[in-house]
Amino acid sequence: MRLFGFLAALLLISGVATPAAAQKRATATAKAKPPVKAPAKRWVDVVVRTPEGGYRQGNPNARVKLVEYGARTCPTCAAFAEEGVGPLRAKYIATGKVSYEFRDLLVHGAPDAAAALINQCVPLNRFFPVLDAMFAGQPAVVARLHALERDHARHHQLESLPPAESVAGFADALGYVDFIKQHGVTEAKARACLADRAMLAGVGRTDSKGAALGVRGTPSFMINGSLVTPYTWDGLEPLLIAALG
């Protein structure tokens, strides 16, 4: 009996209760602690790849579905990213009222395809942060592109390569490989993405589908499947408000 008393005391000292004591403590704890609520869904964190080859952020059942056809070398797209994407996310996507999808239109051909493949080389939850960073860093890329265009021989040589090699060459020349390495992607993985012919074909299909819908320049926007004319946030927001009713 004294041995049992010693073991019971040892268990209590060490913080391990006997079965009866443990059951009483668990019951008391369950009564004392309220149930833990699951965190609320953040619509800006909900990102999916769409059948059209775009990337959609927000509530899939949002009343208003906004699609942007854009290019990462397009200065007007960068202006929209700077002026419009912040309020779009805060006021409309975060509330579940609007979803936002980005689709590629390759207005500069291989340079835009290179940027698209590099952007797709990250996990889904990193697509939009990397897209934002690409637009923020666009001036340096555009400066490299203009310098390359002035070097006619080098520019022509890159354009004359087979598509996958041309895309990889422009990715190096414009600094996209170094860029994506700063966002956690190894150089080996970046080069594998650039060499992925299926990914490249998918980017080409997205571009072709946009052209078939009547998209001619960037940025172009669609609200609930219909092309609209504004290409700035000041012009677009009133249309979103009208669509929301």
Q: Is the pLDDT of residue 22 over 80?
A: no
Answer yes or no: do 27 and 66 share one domain: no
Residue 37 lies in a domain: no
Give the pLDDT band (50/70/90) at residue 56: very high
Q: What is the mean pLDDT of residues 177-194?
A: 98
Range of the domain at 21: 2-32
The CATH number for 171's domain is 3.40.30.10
**Do 19 and 69 belong to one domain?**
no
208 and 128 inside one domain: yes
For residues 20 and 97, state if they share a domain. no
Name the band, by pLDDT with cuts 50, 70 and 90, for residue 13: very low
| 59-112 pLDDT, tens digit each | 999 999 999 999 999 999 999 999 999 999 999 999 999 999 999 999 999 999
Do 189 and 112 lie in one domain? The reply is yes
Based on the domain organization, do 107 and 20 belong to the same domain? no
pLDDT exceeds cutoff 50 at 128 = yes
- Complete DSSP assignment for the chain: -HHHHHHHHHHHHTT---HHHHHHHHHHHHHHSPPPPPPPP-GGG-EEE-TTS-EEES-TT-SEEEEEEE-TT-HHHHHHHHHTHHHIIIIIITTTSEEEEEEE--TTSHHHHHHHHHHTTS-GGGHHHHHHHHHHTHHHHHHHHHHHHHSHHHHHHHHHS-HHHHHHHHHHHTTHHHHHHTTT--HHHHHHHHT-HHHHHHHHHHHHHHHHTT--SSSEEEETTEEES--SHHHHHHHHHHHH-
Asked if pLDDT for residue 37 goes beyond 90, the answer is no
Paired tokens of 233: 């946030």
More confidently predicted of 13 and 27:
27
Q: Are residues 22 and 132 in the same domain?
A: no
- 82 with 186, same domain: the answer is yes
133-173 pLDDT, tens digit each: 999 999 999 999 999 999 999 999 999 999 999 999 999 99
